[in-house]
Chain A
């Protein structure tokens, strides 16, 4: 018990000294190639009841300006009714809407990165919102798990 207490105290102190970084971003490596992973991601997004609103081709913009990059896209998605309601009732959230996932090629694999939805709960402290964020979190976790094992 005492050992646990000391442990907890130390963990607390450590937590104060260095913010915990490990989980503010969600990141997953898919061993699928970029085109395969993009297709799969879009299917997985739709399968969870979200609509895709746009795919921003960051790579095209960069190479067009003479910079070298492998494939890089940002996928925007959301549930239309939900995005509408949130943007009206919580205007502070507007710059964070719709949801997005950055997707880029790395040596034959594909990396996916997103802000962890529960992190929004720290950005926007509101009990009604935290329910929504928890649902997004569960969906994103399942989505990223699906992408991790996608072969």
Chain B
């Protein structure tokens, strides 16, 4: 079912082809606006993979680019750009191509046939260490210069429906044969892969597309805010929150009023108290998976007293995780959600 949708998405640009007006669209500007945050101003990578490398540029067609931009990589950070029109997409592609030293190869739809079972063995032996046992990709994405991680470039997800739909069999085969100099992806032809080995491993990777792929859940039914009533007064509630967090290996960072720093000291409302706490091991792991997640970490709960009644409020990590298009992060946010609920429930028992 999902594959059917993806196929439809593929044809969508063809159905809505715009008549290109006198081509004044500025690809560099569009790239800076939509892509540079992740792929770097000059295509050196960041949260995204590098786009300027000669082997990459020489190995992928413009059709691959176009489909990748349209479909994104569901659950692997790369967004699907549906609001860009065809003229804008081609302008972006032209800009990215300005880094190339060779011509783009034509799109070659010739299927590659091979022995899936044999390919599975080769994949497990040679590829799984970086791309994951099921082709789910490495932990985190891209280059991310901000912290040390397993590899200088994290291996992309190969089971991703966005990738599998964008890439032709020949493109996958050429990439495995050629490798990408400047990244951990080596040339498997140079590693001694035969033509048969290449065919088989491609056939195996194609079989990923036949397995179910859990697209990031639509979290729009999740409430934005977790709200709990506390039977205690404000001070007792805050103390209980700190204790409950510390009991779960969190470090208490700070307690302050919500308005602290906004209003002069003494004029801030004392009835809204924020408790910050953090598990640095968890935070570090989350930042490796997605460096953007600092936006809602460290953890925070707010105790509020109104008319003698105390409530404890927190963001709902499950709801927010859907902003990141990151399957791995979704799992961590589920974990965080569980911890929030445990801490607040214990404190408001």
Contact = CB atoms under 8 A, between A and B. Distances in A.
Nearest to B9: A14
Nearest to A83: B262
A122 B215 CA distance: 21
B272 A94 contact: yes
B82 A22 contact: yes
Given A53-B261, A107-B44, 9 more contacts: A7-B12, A17-B215, A20-B79, A84-B262, A87-B272, A93-B225, A105-B145, A106-B291, A109-B41
Q: Which 4 A-B pairs have the closest CB atoms?
A: A53-B261, A17-B5, A123-B224, A107-B145
Interface stretch (B112-120, B174-182, B193-201, B307-315): B307-315
A78 B314 CA distance: 19
A25 B9 CA distance: 23
Contact of A61 (B9, B218, B253): B253
B260 interface: yes
B298 interface: yes
14 contacts: A21-B324, A27-B38, A29-B41, A31-B41, A61-B253, A69-B147, A72-B287, A84-B263, A87-B258, A96-B315, A97-B258, A106-B145, A106-B291, A107-B143
Main secondary structure of the interface of A (DSSP, over half): mixed
Contact of B37 (A11, A29, A68, A74): A29
Contacts of B6: 17
A65 to B, nearest CB: 4
B37 A27 contact: yes
B40 interface: yes
B15 A7 contact: yes
Interface residues of B, number: 77
B125 interface: no
Interface of B: 2, 5-6, 8-9, 11-12, 15-16, 32-34, 36-38, 40-41, 44, 46-47, 71-72, 74, 79-83, 143-148, 215-216, 218, 220, 224-227, 253, 258-263, 269, 272, 278, 280, 283-284, 287, 291-292, 294-295, 297-298, 300-302, 304, 306, 311, 313-315, 319-320, 322-325
A117 interface: no
Given A29-B36, A61-B278, A107-B145, A19 B322 contact: yes
Chain A CB within 10 Å — which of B8, B74, B304 has the most?
A: B8
A7 B8 CA distance: 10
A95 interface: yes
What is the interface of chain B mostly: helix, strand, loop, or mixed?
mixed
A21 to B, nearest CB: 4
B106 to A, nearest CB: 26
Interface of A: 3-4, 6-7, 10-11, 13-25, 27-29, 31, 51-54, 56, 58, 61-62, 65, 67-70, 72, 74, 76, 78, 80, 83-84, 87, 91-98, 100-102, 104-107, 109, 111, 113-115, 119, 122-124, 148
Contact of A104 (B5, B11, B146): B146
Contact of A20 (B15, B82, B301): B82
A103 B335 CA distance: 25
A102 B16 contact: no
Given A21-B80, A53-B262, A69 B287 contact: yes
